[in-house]
Structures are given as structure tokens and as C-alpha cells.
Structure 1
Amino acid sequence: MAFNIGLSGLRASQVDLDVTGNNIANASTVGFKGSKAQFGDLYSSGFLSSGKMSVGSGVKVQDIKQSFAQGSISGTQNGLDMAIDGDGFFVLSNNGQVQYSRAGQFSIDKDGFVVNSQSMKVQGYQADGDGNLSGVRGDLQIDTDNLAPRRTTRFDSEVNLDSRESVLEVIRQSYEVNALDPSDATNPAEEDTLTFTYDDNRTSELTFNGDQQAREIAEQLNELPGVTASARTTYDIDPALIQPDTNFRIQGTDFSIPGAPDVADAGEALSWLQDAINASPLNTINATNQGGQLRLIDSRGNDLDISRVDDDGNLDQDGSGAAILDESVRGQVNELVLDRTVTVSSANGTDGLLATADPSVTRTNTFNPEDQRTYNHATSSTIYDSLGNPHTMTQYFVKEPVTGGESVWAMYIQIDGEDVGDPPFTTGEPTRARYELEFNSDGSIASVDGDPDGQVLISNWTPKDQSGQPNGSDGPLPIANGGQLPIADPPVSSNFAINMNETTQYGSSFGVVDQRQNGYTTGRLSGLDVSGEGVIFARYSNGQSQNLGQVSLATFANADGLSPVGDTNWVETFESGQPIFGAPSTGTLGSISASSVEESNVDLSQELVNLIIAQRNYQANAKTIETSDAVTQTIINLR
């Protein structure tokens, strides 16, 4: 009896040693859960035998129980390594067989699937093209392709407009200008000096003479700050001189009007000459029909030479031998405009360049994107067309006079420096895009162009390349052709909405609080991040990020009932119950620690102590067998 009891003890101690040794061997195995042998005593007494005098029959191993206590979490350098902080198991598919693990050492295989070191596919919830997670569980796959570009369809702009600012007012001082022409009997001045005085008492003097063309005078004037000048040369050709089969020489270029049947009469001759001049290399000269007269206009103010010549190129003469037409027309500075900080005086008074001593003064706050004095503030942002090309959208803000108690700002929009306003018809050049921002008395926005939702539609933007030509991306859909809010999904045009409903007008400095738009250019995958909810984020070279999927976890009513199958994996059994699947950090499931793994929960020091105890138990049971053998031998030796 004692011999069998000792043998059962040896067997139990051996199992204890095996379990302890297995724990020690896996002390550094990621996701490993330590086990402990559980023992029970044995009795050979029957149902009707006396329990008082029963002697035990030894020991048996009742169970090898695993401890699913949390292991330590340590960081790694792999972005796809994951550790579960709390309850739950990773769900793995091994060619259709589902296994469960706490070891989160994952990577991506050649097909983009997230797998463990045994090439088992991690299960999770895949995201669609917009990053929305589905509720359907399957193999988690990472799309490593480039991120396709996305056009801008919504632009949210939140700014504060300073209510203390005044309405801008531009003062324009305009002078009529004489021509310095020695041959002009009404204005014989051959030279004049203009003195410009600035509000800081600086002065600038420019001297002009009759040998200078109007173009040269205007160019000198435009070099001064606060001074704008334009020059022009105009000449009307006597229509009686324009006949079929006649020749004209303008600025050294000959124009030969054909005769019949190509040009039948004087009217056709005038039209022919007009078209020929406008199509010629004389790009500064424009010809127009002014009530039956052909008017030549040089927009630069160059002196204009014009004559009628014969077929040999000589001046065409009348019966008395005089030239029919041989004119040299003097150009004139037709307008001199000064801003409010400048005054001007002429050395010759009104006999010189200045036709009047006092300028005509106009006050205006007309918006001009090229003149910073005509708008209070401007801010620029990048938007994208359907091909992912970036473009610069600029918002200009102009404070308007208060009318009817309403506080109004005008917002102007330009893209790449061009107007994008909707034309009044289905086709036409873009108009200036202007929208009125009306504010309540508390500084909040009341409406934008009458829309209480604070949205405006940009519906006439044609994306262009650097040369100013359409770049092949989707073009505009004007309102007259069906353009409207909200933008269709998927979008089919360059239209987009600007949302201004968070804009304010407070008594503080102008500031851009926030500006967001939903477009971007194409991007390459540059990295992966995992959130605490197990969501895998892809980071792209264009600064965008997108959900690619979410890891699924499983929990069991009785995790102790799971059956280990090696590789730190378990499978479902009848005792474990069916798995309950869900996303991390939901229900009783734990959260995910990214770039981390869960270490083995084996306490190596405790296992070494257990090893000593198991060794002692083994030796003690062996002593029982040895003693029983000695007693038996003594009985055998009795004679």
C-alpha cells in the first residue's frame, strides 16, 4: 500500500516539476500564461466502508490550471506590435481555423494582411475608402497603395473681424494733363517741371521737355510712390481717304487695301483696314469704327505716324502735289492720379503739363485686390482640384458702411489671383465673387449673402496650370446649369462650399481662428499608428491620415476552459463557452497598447522556489518507497 502511495507521489511531483520547468522555459515568451499543477488525494474506501479508519491511497493530478493574469507591458520598435491591457484575446485565422492569442507580435505579409509570426491572419473590422469602420469581421488587410487625391468640396473658415475698424476710404486726386508739344499754338510750352510733395515733407522733382513722348512721361511719373499716370494717342482717319485699292503706312507697316471684287466700296475698305490693323504686329494700336470714322488708339502713348502711300511706297499726292495724308500725332498723358499723401505743383502753372490748378477729388472704398488700401484684411489657404493639384484661395475682407443698423463686411474670393464669381448666364467670364457677411449685435454672424446657415457656393472656378491654361481637372458647374448646395457625392465639378457660420465680429484684433478643408494631394504610405481602441491609422506623405481597420478581440465566459495548442495560442472548447467578439475598450474588453507586447506573466523567482519544493516532495516520496521496500524485505527475510 505504502509503495503505491509513494509511486503516486512521485508521479505527481514529476508533473509538478514538468509544469514548473515549462513555466521557467517560457519566462520570456511573449503572451505566455503560466500554469500550476493542482493535486487531489485518493481514498480506496467504498460507499459502505467506515470513513473513520480510511487510509489514503496517494495523490493524483486533478488539473493543470493556467493563470490568465495580466503580464507586464513593454515597448518595442514595431508600430504593429500590440498588447492587450485588460481582458480579451486576439483573434487569428489559421487557414480557416480560429485561434486566440495574447501574443501581439504582428507584421504585414506580401499581400498586405496583418499576420503573426506563424502567418496566421489577424481578424478585425475593415474600413472603407472614407475611413469608416464596418461591423463585419474578417482578415485585416492594410492597403499600401498611394492615397488617391481628393478635391476640395468644403472649406470651413473661422475668423474674427475687428468691429473697431473703420470703413476704408481711398482719396483719388485726378489732374487733366496738357501735351508738351512745341508745334501746338495753344500750349507752346516746351518744358515743364513738376514738384511732388509728400506728407512727410519729402519732395521729388521731374523735368519734362517737348522731345519726350507721352509714353516716356507716363513711365517717369509711375516710378514715383503714390503717383499713377497713363498715356494715350488717338487719331481719326478721314473716311473719305479710305477707299478700295489704296495703301496706308502706319508706324512703318504698310497696309494695302485690295480693290474690286474683294473690296467693293468705301465701307468695305474701312472694315478691311480695321481688321488688318488689329491683326497686325502693332499690338499697342487698336482700330475701332467710331460712327463711320476709323479711330486709331495707341494705348501706350507713343507718337503715331500715319500716311497714305502709292503702290511704289511714296507719299500719295493730290493734283497740286501735296501729300494726301502724312501725319505725326503727338500722344498725351491723359490722366495723372495722386493718392491723398501727395500734392503736385507745376513750374509753368496751367500753361505747363497741368491743365488745371486744382484736382478733382473722389472718395471710394472700391475693392481692388492689387491695392492693399482697398481691403482691411486678407488670408490665403490651399485647396485642391480633382487631380490633387494645389491652388491658392484668398479671402479679402472689406468693412462696409453701417446701413439700417446692420453691421456688414464684404468677403471677396479669388483663386490663384483670378475671379471665380458665377456669371449671370450659362457661359461667360467669371465675375467678381463678393459675399456679404451680416452680423448680429452680439458679434455672431447672422447670415452670409442672406443664407442663415453661413454657406456660399463657389461655382465658377476653372483650375489652371502655371501657364494659365485649364489643367484637365473637373471644371465648374454654374448655378444656371444646376450647380447648388449641398455638393453632390461623388462630386463632378470644381464647385465647393465655404462655411463661415463660426465667423465673429468682436472688438479684438483680426485673427484666423481655424481654417479647414477636406481636399488633399496624392500621398505615399509613410507609417502606421494604432490607437487604444485598436484602430490602425495610416500616415501619408501628404500629411493625411486615414483609418484602415480595427483589431477585433474576443472574450470567454470561462477562459480557463480554453485549450492550449502551442505557439502561445488557444482554441475554443465546450468548457470555455462561445467567444464574444468586439472592439477594444468596449464592454469588458481591454484596450490596446501600441508598439508594445505583453510579457509572460511567469514570476521567475516564485518558480525557482516552486522548483525547490517540487524537488523536496519528489525526494520525500522516494523515501516512502525506499522505506516500504525495506520493511517488505525484512518480512521476506523472516524464516
Structure 2
Amino acid sequence: MSFQTGLSGLNASGKRLDVIGNNIANANTVGMKVSRVEFNELVASALGPSGGGGAGGGIGVAVGAVSQQFSQGTINITGNSLDVAINGGGFYQITQKDGSPAYTRDGQFKLTNTGAIVTNSGANLMGYPTTLLGVTTSTTIQKLTVPTGAPIPAKATTAVSAEFNLDSRAAIAATATPPVPIGTYGTTLTGYDSQGVPVPIDLYFTKVGADKWDIYMPDPLSTTTTPLPPKAVTGLNAVPPSPSVSFDINGKITAPLTPIDIKLYSQNPNVNLASTPPGQFTATLDIKTASQYGTPFAVSSLTQDGYTAGNLTAVTINDQGVLTTQYSNGQTQARGKISLADFRNVQGLVPIGAGAWTESAASGQPIQGSPGTGNFGKLRSGATEDSNVDLTAQLIDMMTAQRDYQANAQTIKTQDQTLSTLVNLR
């Protein structure tokens, strides 16, 4: 019986050394979770003289389970835009090459030439679809992808916004001496037509009365001379003809408080062919934040919503899991949101290699959600979660397992010597 007991100890110690060796080998594996061997004592039972239960001697040891410890690993900053670490509970949901679902804590994602977001083993990262602004549109997860082929199309300018201060000390242009040049109170920004060709947007302001100003814009199609104080200027039209921009005695704008229509003119003859004339298109101008104080004319903000075509330059994942594409025209667009999954019993997950697990009856079905909600951890972009292996502890455990192995081998050796003594009795 002692041979069997010692042999079971050798097998158990050998298994423990195998697990420790795997932990040490993966001490630098991102998302790896440390494992430990859990042992069960083997006992022979016998019935006593009175028929009651009695315990016989122990007959060895068996490996009860090899369990993983899902404690948090250290967050390591990498600076890689597609590296993402989970700080808290949850797993990334991935779809393997054979189409089966799996789960991982390894957030070292890559972008393929087809635009798929994948793990190092080629599994697709799963998430929720979103609008271009990052608003989730469905709770059904799908493979996260980004467009890597053709550039995003151009968008014509449809809305212009300007925030500025007009000098209340300015003289009325019609009576000013010397005359006030038309560009004294003016600004410019660049818009775009429907094919992404830049269109200059010039705005000029002329004081026409107490607390009243007119807005003028270039009109390249004008064939008449528009009278502008202090002299006639060709090619400028008032926008709008009425009402003027008005302010109250406190310098706050009173009109117009809603966007006004303006005409923009492209030098590209191939846009807006149906309009009269070609190249002309309409946008709105919002100046409701303008002011008139006794300080020099200054523009604090100019914005417009058009842009030219743009090629993909970068892909990033933010702390909320939103996948964002960046383009050469300065635009950014959301392309989905990472979803997380968790389980009632993570110890029931089955490891399948490459830092991934699959669900089982013991783990229960996955519970899906967004990062930072419920029991799900928050994401840390530009970082990875290191292995939770404590290398020092593993080395100490390895020495202990080695001593255990040697001790079990010694019991077999001692039993062999005892049997040899009995055989040699005369």
C-alpha cells in the first residue's frame, strides 16, 4: 500500500510542478491568470465490529482541480492606441476563426487590412453598433470593423457659426471721417462645397446706425455696384438685406437670434449644376452670441460643419470602449463600442489557450454589458493588464513542490528497503 501512496504523491507533486512551471512561463503574458493545484486526500474506509463507520489509513492523494485565480493584474501603460486593459470585472467577447464565441482579458488588439479588430490569434473583437457620434443603436453584439478602403466622402458646408465683438465706439460708416475701410471689421474662414473643394467665407460688418450693423459678403456673380459706406464697392451684397444686426444698450445682441441664410460660391463648376447659377449653394449663419462692447473688434470663435474627403490615419479606443476612426481631414467618427461579458462562476470557464476561455455549464451563460456599468470594470486605453502571476511566490512554491516530490520518492525508497529486509530474513 505504501508504494501506491508514494506514487500518488509523486504524481500530485509532478502535476503541481507542471502548473507552477506554466505560471512562471506566462509571468509576462498579457491577461494571463495564475493557476493553482488543489489536492484531495484519499482515505480507505472500513466497518467496525459493531457495524459503525470507521476510518482506515490514508491511501494517498489525488488532484482535485486546477483552478485559476481571476484577481486583477497590474495595469501597464503602453501608449499603443489599440491596447486596452480592463480595470475590474468582465471579459472581452471575441469570435474565433471557427465562429465559436470565447472570452479573454488580453486587450492587445490589431487592425487587419480588411478593417477588422482582432486578437493576436485572429479572433474578432465583438461590440455594439453605434452612430458616428458614438451613441449605441442596438444591444445585439457584432464584429467591430472600421472602413480602411475608400476615403470618407466630402461634406458641403451647411452651417456657419461666428462669435465676435463689434466695437461700440465705432463711427457710423456713412459719416465717418476719414472713411472706414471695408475690411476694418471683417473676418474669414474656409468652408467646403459638396465635392470637398475649399470655399472662402468672408464676413464684413459696417456700422449703419446706433447699435446697428449690416453684414456683407462677397458676391462674385454680382454685376452691379452695391453702395457701401463710405464708397461704392463692387461685388459685395448685404446679408441679410434686413434686419440689421442690432444690440441693446448693454451690448447684448437682439437680432437676429436665429440662424440666417447665406449664399456661398464655389469655384468648382461641377457642383450644384441644378442651381442657378452653378457653384452656388446655401448655408446658415448663426451669430446669436455676438456682442457690442466698448473694446476693439475681436473674433473669438469661427466654426463650420463642412469638410473635404479624408483618408484613415488612426484608430483609437477610448475609456468607454468606443472605437473611433480619425481621418486626414480632421474628422473623427465612432465605429462601434466594445461590449464586456461576465459570469456567475468564472471558475467554471474552460481555458482553451491563447489567453481565452469558453463558457461551460459550470460557469453559466454570459451576462453582457458596457464598460463601467454594473459589475463591469472600466477600460484603460493605451494600456494592457499584466499577468497576475507573483513570480516570487511561484519560485517559493516550486521549491516546496520539489521537496514534496523528493519526500514522496523517499517513502517509496524506504518501503523498498523494508521489503528487501523482509525478503532477506533467514
TM-score by length of 2: 0.85
The SS at the match of 1:532 is: coil
Instruction: Give the structure 2 partner of residue 433 of structure 1.
Output: 239
Alignment match, 2:272: 473
**Aligned equivalent of 1:138:** 142
CA distance, structure 2, for counterparts of residue 415 and residue 21 of structure 1: 79
- Secondary structure of the 2:293 match is coil
C-alpha spacing 1:635/1:70, structure 2 compared with 1 (3 Å) = same
- Counterpart CA distance in 1 for 2:35 and 2:298 is 64
Question: Which amino acid in 2 is paired with 1:627?
Answer: T
CA 1:418/1:514 → structure 2, altered by over 3 Å: closer, same or farther?
A: farther
Give 1:107's aligned residue. 110
Work out whether 1:551 is the aligned partner of 2:338. Answer: yes
Structure-2 change in CA distance of 1:588 and 1:516 (3 Å): farther
1:376-395 correspondence to structure 2 within 5 Å:
377-395=185-203
- Are 1:462 and 1:494, in contact at CA under 8 Å, matched by a contact in 2? yes
Counterpart code for 2:261 = L
- Which of 357, 382, 401 is the matching residue for 2:209? 401
**Closer, same or farther: CA 431–98 of 1 in aligned 2, 3 Å:** same
In the alignment, the residues of structure 1 paired with residue 363 and residue 299 of structure 2 have an alpha-carbon distance, to the nearest angstrom, of 58
Report deviation, 1:613. Answer: 0.5
Letter aligned with residue 57 of structure 1:
I
| Cα gap change, 1:121 to 1:560, in 2 (>3 Å) | same
Q: Quote the residue 2:85 is aligned against.
A: 83
CA contact (8 A) 2:188 2:202 kept: yes
* 1:501-516 correspondence to structure 2 within 5 Å: 501-516=288-303
**CA displacement, residues 447-499 of structure 1 (integer Å, 9 cap, x when unaligned):** 30xxx4x21112x444234xxxx343366589xxxxxxxxxxxxxx8221111
- Quick one: distance in 1 between partners of 2:237 and 2:416? 113
- For 2:194, what is the secondary structure of its paired residue? coil
1:38-117 matched pairs, under 5 angstroms = 38-45=38-45, 49=52, 54-76=56-78, 78-94=80-96, 95-117=98-120
> Contact 2:173–2:180 (CA<8 Å) still a contact in 1?
no
Determine the structure 2 residue equivalent to 1:320: none
SS of residue paired to 2:95? strand
Counterpart CA distance in 2 for 1:559 and 1:507 is: 68
User: 401, 412, 417: which is aligned to 2:216?
Assistant: 412
Cα distance 1:506–1:54, how it changes in 2: closer, same or farther (>3 A)? Answer: farther
Q: Distance in 2 between matches of 1:388 and 1:430?
A: 25
Cα deviation for residue 142 of structure 1 reads 1.2
Take 1:148 and 1:556, find their aligned partners in 2: how far apart are those partners?
Answer: 43
- Structure 1 residues 497, 34: closer, same or farther in 2, change over 3 A? same
Q: Which runs of 5+ in 1 are unaligned?
A: 172-339, 342-370, 420-428, 479-492
1:580 to 362, 367, 384: 367
Aligned to 1:604: 391
Shift of 1:430: 9.4
- 8 Å CA contact 1:168, 1:374 repeated in 2: no
Q: Cα–Cα, structure 1 residues 568 and 110, in superposed 2: closer, same or farther, change >3 Å? A: same
CA contact (8 A) 1:376 1:399 kept: no
Deviations 1:237-287 (A, max 9, x none): xxxxxxxxxxxxxxxxxxxxxxxxxxxxxxxxxxxxxxxxxxxxxxxxxxx
Going from structure 1 to structure 2, the CA distance change for 1:474 and 1:604 (only over 3 Å counts) comes to farther
The question of 1:463 aligning with 2:262 is answered: no
Structure 1 residue 133, shift from structure 2 partner: 4.3
TM-score by length of structure 1 reads 0.58
Q: How far is 1:543 from its partner?
A: 1.7
Residues 147 and 523 in structure 1, CA contact (< 8 A), matched pair in contact too: yes
1:563 Cα shift? 0.3
User: Aligned pair 1:569/2:373, yes or no?
Assistant: no
Question: Equivalent residue for 2:173?
Answer: 168
Per the alignment, residue 33 of structure 1 pairs with: 33
SS for the counterpart of 1:31 is coil
In the alignment, is residue 3 of structure 1 matched against residue 18 of structure 2? no
In the alignment, the residues of structure 1 paired with residue 273 and residue 88 of structure 2 have an alpha-carbon distance, to the nearest angstrom, of 51
The CA distance in 2 between the partners of 1:506 and 1:20, in whole Å, is: 75
Match of 2:229 in 1: none
Q: Could you tell me how far 1:59 is from its partner in structure 2?
A: 2.1
Once the 2 structures are TM-superposed, how far is the Cα of residue 49 of structure 1 from its aligned partner? 4.5
Q: Which residue of 2 aligns with 1:351?
A: none
Distance 1:57 1:75, change over 3 A: same
What per-residue deviation string (whole Å, max 9, x for no partner) do you get for residues 349-369 of structure 1? Answer: xxxxxxxxxxxxxxxxxxxxx
Q: 1:557 to 1:502 in 2, by over 3 A?
A: farther
1:160 alignment partner AA: N
C-alpha RMSD of the superposition: 3.0
Would the aligned equivalents of 1:8 and 1:59 in 2 still touch at CA under 8 Å?
yes
The residue correspondences of 1:134-533 to structure 2 (distance < 5 A) are: 134-135=137-138, 136-144=140-148, 145-170=150-175, 372-374=180-182, 377-402=185-210, 407-414=211-218, 431-434=237-240, 435-448=243-256, 452=257, 454-458=258-262, 460-465=263-268, 470-473=269-272, 494-533=281-320
Q: Which secondary structure does the structure 2 equivalent of 1:134 belong to? A: coil
The C-alpha deviation readout for 1:325-367, integer Å capped at 9, x for no partner, is: xxxxxxxxxxxxxxx56xxxxxxxxxxxxxxxxxxxxxxxxxx
Contact 1:170-1:373 at 8 Å conserved across structures:
no
1:521 Cα deviation after fit? 0.6
Residues 131 and 5 (structure 1), Cα distance of their counterparts in 2 relative to 1, 3 Å cut: closer
Q: 1:127 to 1:168 in 2, by over 3 A?
A: same
Choose 59-68 or 566-575, whichever is displaced more: 59-68
For the residue of structure 2 that corresponds to 1:494, the secondary structure is strand
Q: Distance in 1 between matches of 2:401 and 2:249?
A: 85
CA distance in 1, matches of 2:41, 2:133: 63
- Once residues 114 and 163 of structure 1 are traced to their aligned partners in structure 2, the CA distance between those partners, rounded to angstroms, is 57
Q: In structure 2, list runs of 5 or more residues that go unmatched.
A: 224-234
Alpha-carbon offset, residue 553 of structure 1: 2.0
Separation of aligned partners in 2, 1:584 and 1:417? 55
Amino acid at match of 1:5: T
CA–CA distance in 2 between the matches of 1:417 and 1:510?
A: 29
> Are residues 415 and 637 of structure 1, via their aligned partners in 2, closer, same or farther at CA, if it must alter by over 3 Å?
farther
Q: Count the aligned residue pairs.
A: 406
Give the secondary structure class of the aligned counterpart of 1:578. coil
* Structure 1 contact 461–476 (Cα < 8 Å) conserved: no
